[in-house]
Chain A
Amino acid sequence: MRKKTLQPAGKMRKRQKRLDQIAGLCKIGLFGLAIAVFAVLGLLIPIRPTTSEMEKRQLTAFPAFQLESFLNGEFFKNVGLWYADTFPMRDQFLAANNALEELYGLQQRQIITSRKAEQNQSQEKLPEQAAEQSAADGSITEGQPEVIGDVYITEGRAFELFYFSEEYTDRYCEVINRAQERLGDKVHIYCLPAPVNSGIILSEDMQERVDSSNQKQAIEYLASKLDSRVTTIDVYDTLRSHNSEYIYFNTDHHWTALGAYYAYQEFANAKGVPANSLDVFTSNSYEGFLGTFYSSSQSEELKNNSDTVVTYTPLGTNNLMLTDQNGISVTKEIVSSADDLSAGSKYMCFIGGDQPYAHIMNPQIQDGSSIAVFKESYANCFIPFLVDHYADIYIIDYRYYQNDFVSLIQENHIQDVLFLNNLSAINEVLRLEEMEALVP
């Protein structure tokens, strides 16, 4: 009896042992094969990427050899960094990893802290020129990414959180006051601080819960600090009253052209001219826009809620002359088609993207009126509405423009100046330093 029960057990153990052996062999073989495949992949240097479209940055370059950096280990460290950073199929691997990370928890709402953005910021940014060139072949087209702070994601929409700084707001106002002082009474300065989407779309209660500062109060404080000659255009209440409309993107930190239009109406009011109605413009729309919030969070929720870029082409002219960072001047369309732009860069269809300097001449207006716009990218979809009110529009992106802003206005006898900056930029020290450099 006993033998009978033992025998099958013994057989089973034998079988198990053989199975284990085969499994062991397969395991070692598979593992070795996987290492070999990745090793060979890593050797395919020609297919290593040099830029990452997903992260919108230049990847680490192979380090130059120096005796000192060799001896202290710096050289090898950078070789390792280069090897990992430019690993073939990097973006595909990143996408797969992001998909896996979605499984870490419940992702219906998220708060993305600026860690990722900070990391990217310290990395070398894609030069504008490279972006311009590759725009044609449809690869990297974003250009200079802006630094995104903390982002709150809920129900497929991302919101940029706003942190008020009294010190920075004061410094911003001093920039404008200084300009007014130097330009004197003849030049009329308008200041249009653009709210970021959290302040307009989220309820006040929600803004408080995510620690986002009150933007209405921020604008009111700002207005109180400006020279009495400066006209502040407070668009907060107007935008808020339209907040059920598509005035901010879901996946990008900019307002839409519609949001910019409501701000433009307020501007026209302040200037005392009638605003054009929206129906007079030719409108186009481009689907499938995945903006900066998507690229910094890689959130599936956002990916499934991509944006549509709607454009309104100005009446008088659709041409502008821009000067890029290399000082080369070209003629571009004020509002161009976004069909050929990649999913991440459709916002570039407005005024040729972020360029140091651009000039629009409207041949339909002969009264010699002129305005200078001191801006970052929020103004890009606003400017098309301005075109039909001025003979000349001078556009200065303070992040890239190198000369004195006030001299530009004086030399061209410009009458109006518009500071159109978003609240995040106003409260961000890097941006402020750039502004201060232009208005010393």
Chain B
Amino acid sequence: MVFSSLVFLYVFLALNLLIYCFFARTMKQKNVTMLVFSLVFYAWGGPKYLLLLLFMTAVCWLFALFIESRRSVGARKWLLALTCLIMIGLLVWFKYSGLFLSTLQGLTGFPETIPNIVLPIGISFYTFQLLSYVVDVYRGTVHAQRKYWLLLLYASLFHQCIAGPIVRYADIERELTRRRVSLDEISGGVTRFAVGLAKKAVLANTCAQLVDQFLPSGADALRQTPAADLWLGMMFFALQIYLDFSAYSDMAIGMGKMIGFHYKENFNYPYTAVSVTDFWRRWHISLSSFFRDYVYIPLGGNREGSGRTVFNLFIVWFLTGLWHGASWNFVLWGLYFFLLLLLERSVLSRALRAAPRAVSHIYLLLAVLFGWVIFYFESLPEIGVVLAGMFGLNGNGFGTFKTLVKLENHLFFIVVAVLAAAGVLKKCYEAVRRRCAQRTGLSTVLSIADAVSPTLLLILSTLALVGDSYNPFLYFRF
């Protein structure tokens, strides 16, 4: 079930909020409500994979308790290593065995048949959540959770279980048993959820249609596509993936706020960044900080000489790429950023700081856009064709009449989508709010607008969703 589906909004969420707010009285009842709903939510995507989630949570629950009860460093270390082995082993088995085996088959002809393993929904997200929990218990930064069902609630909570953000146990440990909500927070949560929903249902879904219109499938068709279409197609993909993914985080954060959970921000207008380093501080923050805290720093970070630092960065970016999907182009994509980051560390950073903001901003946008080419196309020949085509090397000219007409048809939409992705819409709203706060008449108008807008966004999104029964979130494959 995706958040941007009518069945989620008007059956699942409606029932969840109804029972949570009006029938569950104690915190325990509220938690049981959330757990039951989360398990149903997870089972919706295939009840048999629920067993895997239950099992992986059980492993982490047990081993965390063991780790906490042992004094000897050696024993703790072994237990942690064992947990990681099981968890990562399962992740690799379910997510990557197809890729590894088919690569092996391509190289050696062995094995003859590749088992068809279905990727359990959200496994990349909840595996990382559970791992961070066990490591934190090992480090002594959190206490092991005694109750299995509360740990299961953390791992399966439908707000973030299947598409992030990757919430750390430490961040919501207290809120699992003690959470309070204020009117302000519920109201903020409602707005956040509605904004996220509209971002997905109206903006991201339309961008997805535009991507399809500008980028045909298959290397042959791409070879015939004029340069402007390729650039526009990639630009819409850049918009789509950001709007889509950040919308999911918005909705998760919004729903959390409605019932007293506080998840950390996952995006901070990444396309306003001025360097790749800056971009990764603003893009999928919960993932990059996971790799920083649980891979890069344990490997020694940048404290063990420059050679080791480069190696550590390589590992981190190899894994970041691989995490995004079981296909080598994602690894290539990760390593592309590894190279850019190295470049920035060694030479570029000074030049970027000295350059006008506009220049470094354009550099970042181009760097990310070419990154998305590697990300979007899964085969190397396609990537090559598209990169050549973007520079007019396929001999199809700049653009066609069709390109122009399609642009005309979506002119206002594009402006709105770009302003939304650049955070300008939000800034304008805040500026208006500040101005209005000083004038009583206007502030009343603004308050009314504020009260009505989430409902309007909900209605707009519903209209958009009725029209397309097919709109999977991009990040579901991860």
Query: Contact residues of A with B, CB < 8 Å?
Result: 12, 15-16, 19-28, 30-36, 38-39, 41-42, 60, 70-73, 76-77, 79-81, 83-85, 87, 90, 93-94, 96-98, 100, 103-111, 113, 115, 152, 209-211
Q: Which residue of B lies closest to A36 (CB)?
A: B14
- Are B410 and A105 in touch, CB under 8 angstroms? yes
B9 within 8 A of A: yes
- Are B413 and A210 in touch, CB under 8 angstroms? no
- Are B443 and A19 in touch, CB under 8 angstroms? yes
- Note all chain B residues with C-beta closer than 8 A to A108: 408
- Note all chain B residues with C-beta closer than 8 A to A100: 460, 463
- Note all chain B residues with C-beta closer than 8 A to A111: 402, 405-406, 409
- Are B7 and A93 in touch, CB under 8 angstroms? no
Q: Contacts A30-B452, A31-B190, A73-B44; is A38 near B9 (CB within 8 Å)?
A: yes
| 4 smallest beta-carbon distances between A and B, as pairs | A73-B46, A24-B187, A23-B447, A104-B413
- The segment out of B77-85, B263-271, B324-332, B464-472 that lies at the interface is B464-472
Which B1-60 residues sit within 8 Å CB-CB of chain A?
A: 1, 5-11, 13-15, 17, 43-49
- Note all chain B residues with C-beta closer than 8 A to A39: 10-11, 14-15
Cα A370 to Cα B371 with chains together (Å): 67
Instruction: Please give the distance in Å from A139's CB to the nearest CB on chain B.
Output: 19
- The segment out of B92-100, B206-214, B308-316, B352-360 that lies at the interface is B206-214
B351 within 8 A of A: no
Which B437-465 residues sit within 8 Å CB-CB of chain A?
A: 437-438, 440, 443-444, 447-448, 450-452, 454-455, 458-460, 462-465
Q: Contacts A71-B46, A87-B6; is A104 near B17 (CB within 8 Å)?
A: no
Instruction: Please give the distance in Å from A79's CB to the nearest CB on chain B.
Output: 7
- Note all chain B residues with C-beta closer than 8 A to A72: 46, 48, 118
Instruction: Please give the distance in Å from A95's CB to the nearest CB on chain B.
Output: 9
B228 within 8 A of A: no
Q: Which residue of A lies closest to B212 (CB)?
A: A115
Q: Contacts A84-B465, A84-B466, A97-B464; is A24 near B184 (CB within 8 Å)?
A: yes
- Are B5 and A31 in touch, CB under 8 angstroms? no
Q: Contacts A15-B440, A35-B458, A97-B464; is A73 near B47 (CB within 8 Å)?
A: yes
Provide 18 A-B residue pairs closer than 8 Å at the C-beta atoms, listed in order of the A residue: A25-B187, A27-B452, A27-B455, A31-B190, A35-B9, A35-B17, A35-B458, A38-B9, A39-B15, A70-B47, A80-B44, A84-B5, A93-B466, A94-B466, A96-B463, A108-B408, A115-B209, A209-B401
Cα A12 to Cα B440 with chains together (Å): 8
Q: Which of B47, B183, B409 contacts A110 (CB 8 A)?
A: B409
Cα A97 to Cα B206 with chains together (Å): 12
- Note all chain A residues with C-beta closer than 8 A to B464: 97
Chain B interface, number of residues (Cβ within 8 angstroms): 66
- Note all chain B residues with C-beta closer than 8 A to A71: 46-48
Cα A92 to Cα B167 with chains together (Å): 40
Q: Which residue of A lies closest to B188 (CB)?
A: A24
Cα A38 to Cα B5 with chains together (Å): 13
Instruction: Please give the distance in Å from A24's CB to the nearest CB on chain B.
Output: 4
- Note all chain A residues with C-beta closer than 8 A to B191: 27
- Are B213 and A113 in touch, CB under 8 angstroms? yes
Q: Contacts A34-B459, A72-B46, A76-B45; is A106 near B409 (CB within 8 Å)?
A: yes
- Note all chain A residues with C-beta closer than 8 A to B166: none
Instruction: Please give the distance in Å from B366's CB to the nearest CB on chain A.
Output: 26
- Note all chain B residues with C-beta closer than 8 A to A19: 443-444, 447
Q: Which of A30, A36, A81 contacts B469 (CB 8 A)?
A: A81
Known: A76-B1, A94-B466, A105-B408. 20 other contacts (CB 8 A): A23-B448, A24-B183, A24-B187, A27-B190, A31-B454, A32-B17, A33-B455, A34-B455, A34-B458, A35-B13, A77-B45, A80-B6, A83-B11, A84-B7, A84-B469, A104-B410, A109-B408, A110-B409, A111-B409, A210-B402
B411 within 8 A of A: yes
Cα A109 to Cα B411 with chains together (Å): 13
Q: Which residue of A lies closest to B458 (CB)?
A: A34
Instruction: Please give the distance in Å from B21's CB to the nearest CB on chain A.
Output: 9
- Are A42 and B13 in touch, CB under 8 angstroms? no
Scan B155-184; emit 1 where CB is below 8 A from any A CB, else 0.
Answer: 000000000000000000000000000011
- Note all chain B residues with C-beta closer than 8 A to A113: 213
Q: Contacts A100-B460, A105-B412; is A23 near B469 (CB within 8 Å)?
A: no
- Are B451 and A26 in touch, CB under 8 angstroms? yes
Q: Which residue of B lies closest to A105 (CB)?
A: B411
Instruction: Please give the distance in Å from A39's CB to the nearest CB on chain B.
Output: 4
Cα A252 to Cα B364 with chains together (Å): 47
Cα A73 to Cα B49 with chains together (Å): 9
Instruction: Please give the distance in Å from B385's CB to the nearest CB on chain A.
Output: 20
- Note all chain B residues with C-beta closer than 8 A to A96: 463
Cα A187 to Cα B1 with chains together (Å): 61
B137 within 8 A of A: no
- Are B194 and A31 in touch, CB under 8 angstroms? yes
- Note all chain B residues with C-beta closer than 8 A to A42: 6, 10-11
- Note all chain B residues with C-beta closer than 8 A to A84: 5-7, 465-466, 469
- Are B451 and A30 in touch, CB under 8 angstroms? yes
Q: Which of A26, A32, A60, A80 contacts B5 (CB 8 A)?
A: A80
B400 within 8 A of A: yes
Q: Contacts A111-B402, A111-B406; is A76 near B44 (CB within 8 Å)?
A: yes
Q: Contacts A28-B190, A84-B465; is A38 near B450 (CB within 8 Å)?
A: no
Scan B232-254; emit 1 where CB is below 8 A from any A CB, else 0.
Answer: 00000000000000000000000
Q: Contacts A21-B183, A35-B14, A60-B469; is A104 near B409 (CB within 8 Å)?
A: yes
Cα A41 to Cα B407 with chains together (Å): 37
- Are B466 and A97 in touch, CB under 8 angstroms? yes
- Note all chain A residues with C-beta closer than 8 A to B9: 35, 38
- Note all chain A residues with C-beta closer than 8 A to B348: none
- Note all chain A residues with C-beta closer than 8 A to B440: 12, 15
